[in-house]
Structures are given as structure tokens and as C-alpha cells.
Chain A
């Protein structure tokens, strides 16, 4: 009697389960066929829906992995990863032993190797990274483990600071829960 709206679907419908529009918070629809459906990532935030390709946690890749689309990687890779202008998300089960080159890298899992990201690197709290990072911006969550060097190259970067004005009044902290400055100090002794 009522014409169903296109986005409504009865629970017992025998219609094909392929939705007309991908749900906004669903994990990325895998473009590659896999033997089994990967479990949803247990991470603190939903995996971004625009990620196109998905490598599940049972997949092991040895060699060069390159592509021209965003990639969600929850498996194991040994070699190199080249995504140039795209985003790599390493899921919580991801195990990487590779040099990574991408526009943006978001790490939840473990990685050994250097990361070059033309825009940004984000280390989530479950991330364990051993290697050097070269990028423009870096975000590190509390709990992330990182061992290596960071090169921040900023476009339109101002001159590195070379002199500090000691009398400058302390700027307010960027953290909301910061209490007032609690201590002042005096020089105690000096040797040599």
C-alpha cells in the first residue's frame, strides 16, 4: 500500500543485501576479493569510509606494494609500500617491516621502517613504530611508542628560532586542563 522509501528495508526481505548507498560508518568496502570477511577493526575511531582498498589480517605481502588509492592494511607486509598521493591506514593487527611512502599515514599497528608522508603522520595509541619519520605534520596519541627520528619539513616554514627572549611571558598552554604555574626556581650552585 505504501510505497517504500528507497532507504527502507524490511528485516525479512529477500532482496539482495547490497545497499544502494554505503553506510557512512561502515568499514571500507573491499575492492579485492578475500577468502573471508575481515573483522571490523577494534580501534578508537571508525575507519574512514573513503578508504578504498582493504588488506585483511590474514594476508602476508612480501615485496613491493604500490597503488593509487587509499589503503587500509591490517595484514603483514615486508618490503616497501608506495602510495604516493594517498592515505595508508595500518590497522591494529597490521605488522609492517617496510619503508612507507604516502601522502598520509595513520598507524594503529606495529611497524619497523622509515615513513615518508608528504602531508601527515598520525600515531595512534596502540601504535609501535621503530623508524624515522619525514613529514609536514605529526600527531601522536598518548600511549603510542615511537623510536626514531623526526624530520618535519614545513612548506612556507618560518626561519628556525635562533634566540629566545628569556623575559617573555609564558604563553598559555594549549591544554585545557592546565593548572597555573606552580614553581619558580633559583640557581643552587654551579661547578666549573
Chain B
């Protein structure tokens, strides 16, 4: 795993760059597959782990069922989860964080949109988040996650994802977070080793899309 700034203090610091706020659209094969899979569920329950987007809610509720929203990255910035160490440094208390976040009944969700959160999330939260996702996702449920490739570089902007339709996503760059690490294929496979299957799609814009089935 390549690291760009894994220290605790670097983790939560947003970049000083200003947001261009210029949205770009990208066709997403992974999301297309994800959308096709949604059609097979009755009383769909979808969890969107990105920032709240009315476009996403409108799109997902069109399938019927419920859409849950939980902005994990933003929640991780809450100072209440930081624990001060004897040497004065601060670490993120994952146990406390997950007692208040992603706290859902087991096997509740049919689908989860993880976007590229693992690339930006605090190191202490990445594995526990995937374990928690495994717990709250139904068997046969699907997860869509994006990962930057090594060519993306540390300055890859954090983006909000807005669903345009079943194939196209709008990417809205935000200065709120900085890329923390790069996962290669093996890391991704290890991360989701408890899941039944993984399907990889490589895009030309240095994004690797992964569709995971529990």
C-alpha cells in the first residue's frame, strides 16, 4: 500500500487548494453494473456513504425502497473521536467511532455505495469499516467502491459523486480531504477477502472500480 500522508494529523487536514467546483462527468462501468444489479432486489435498502446528494437520493428511490445516507468521511472529522495519547499525539478511536457510525442492524442493506472513501479515510477506520459493511450487507448484496491507481498521485482531488443516470456520474471536486493511500489489486482483494466475489474495472482516469458481492 502506498502512503501519502498517513499520520493522524495529516489525515484530517484538508488541502489548501480551493475547489474548482467544476463538475465533470464520467461514464462508469462499475456503476452501470451496480445499477443493473439493483433491479433484482425487492424492497431495496441502499446505503450511500458519500456526502448527501439529492440527485443520488432521487435516482435510488426510483427503484423503490429506502435510501440511507451516512457521510463517513465528514463524520470522521469529529473531534469527539480523537483520543489523546500520553506523548501528546492524537489517535482516532475506531471503537467509539463505530459505536456511533455505521451502526445498523445486521444484513440490512442490499447495496452500498462506498465511492472512493477508503482512499481518503483515516487508516484506523478503513478495515473496521469494511468489516462493518460486511456485517450490515445482506448475503448477495453488492458494494461499489472506487480506488485510485498509482498514477493518480497525492494531489488527486476528493470528489463528491452525483448520479446522473444509470451509467454516468458527475464528479464535483472538493478541497475537504486529501488522498491518504493507494491500494493495489492485492490490497483490495485482502480488504474484501470476506466477501464472495470482486469484479474490477479499470478506467482511463486512474480510477479502479470494484464491484463486490457479499
Binding site for B on A (CB under 8 A): 123, 138-140, 142, 144-152, 160-164, 166, 168, 170-171, 173-175, 177-192
- How many of chain B's residues have a CB under 8 angstroms from any CB in A? 55
* Contact of B168 with A181 in the complex, beta carbons under 8 Å: yes
Interface flags for B180-198 (1: CB within 8 Å of A; 0: not) read: 0000010001000000111
Q: A38–B108 Cα gap in the complex (Å)?
A: 45
B57 touches A166 (CB 8 A): no
Which of B52, B71, B165 is in CB contact (< 8 Å) with A170?
B165
Indicate if B17 sits at the interface (CB-CB under 8 A). Answer: no
A interface footprint on B191-214 (CB within 8 Å = 1, 0 otherwise): 000001111111111011100000
B90 within 8 A of A: no
Binding site for A on B (CB under 8 A): 22-30, 32, 35-36, 39, 52-55, 57-58, 61-71, 74-75, 162, 164-168, 170, 172, 185, 189, 196-205, 207-209
Q: Which residues of B contact A180 (CB under 8 A)?
A: 25
Inter-subunit contact A148/B164 (CB<8 Å): no
Give 30 pairs: A residue, B residue, CB < 8 Å, sorted on A: A139-B54, A140-B57, A146-B52, A146-B69, A146-B71, A147-B69, A147-B70, A147-B75, A148-B69, A149-B68, A150-B61, A152-B57, A160-B62, A161-B39, A162-B39, A163-B39, A164-B32, A166-B167, A168-B165, A170-B25, A170-B164, A178-B25, A181-B27, A182-B204, A183-B203, A185-B28, A185-B30, A188-B200, A189-B200, A192-B196
Asked if B66 and A149 make an inter-chain contact with CB atoms under 8 angstroms apart, the answer reads yes
> CB < 8 Å: which of B54, B197, B204 contacts A192?
B197
Whether B57 lies near A191 (C-beta < 8 A) is no
B68 with A138: CB separation less than 8 A: no
Question: Given contacts A145-B71, A149-B66, A179-B22, is CB(A171)–CB(B165) below 8 Å?
Answer: yes
With A179-B24, A183-B26, A186-B202 as known contacts, state yes or no: A164 contacts B208, CB within 8 Å: no
Contacts of A177 in B (CB 8 A): 22-23
Contact B201 A187 (CB under 8 A): yes
State A164–B41 Cα separation when bound (angstroms). 13
Overall SS of chain B's interface: mixed
The answer to whether A178 touches B23, judged by C-beta atoms less than 8 angstroms apart, is: yes
CA distance A173 to B185 in the complex (A): 32
Taking CB as reference atom, which chain A residue is nearest B213?
Answer: A192
Q: Residues of B contacting A189 with CB < 8 Å?
A: 185, 200
Q: Which residues from chain A contact B24 at a C-beta distance below 8 Å? A: 178-179, 182
Q: Which residues of B contact A175 (CB under 8 A)?
A: 23, 162, 170
Candidate in A139, A162, A164, A182 with the most chain B CB atoms within 10 angstroms = A164
Give Cα distance in the complex from A146 to B49, angstroms: 11
A150 to B22, CA, bound (A): 28
> Could you say which residues of chain A place their CB within 8 Å of the CB of B23?
173, 175, 177-179
> What are the nearest 6 A-B pairs in CB distance?
A160-B64, A185-B29, A152-B61, A192-B197, A140-B54, A188-B202
Report chain B residues within 8 Å CB of A187. 29, 199-201
* B66 x A151 contact (CB < 8 A): yes
- Closest residue of chain A to B63 (Cβ to Cβ) is A160
Q: Does A168 lie within 8 Å of B164, measured CB to CB?
A: no
Of A123, A145, A149, A174, the most chain B CB neighbours within 10 A belong to: A149
Q: Which residue of B lies closest to A158 (CB)?
A: B62
Q: Which residue of A147, A160, A188 contacts B201 across the interface (Cβ within 8 Å)?
A: A188
Residue of B nearest to A166 (CB): B32
Known: A145-B74, A174-B164. A185 touches B201 (CB 8 A): yes
Determine if A190 and B200 form an interchain contact, defined as CB atoms under 8 angstroms apart.
Answer: yes
Closest B residue to A165 using CB positions: B166
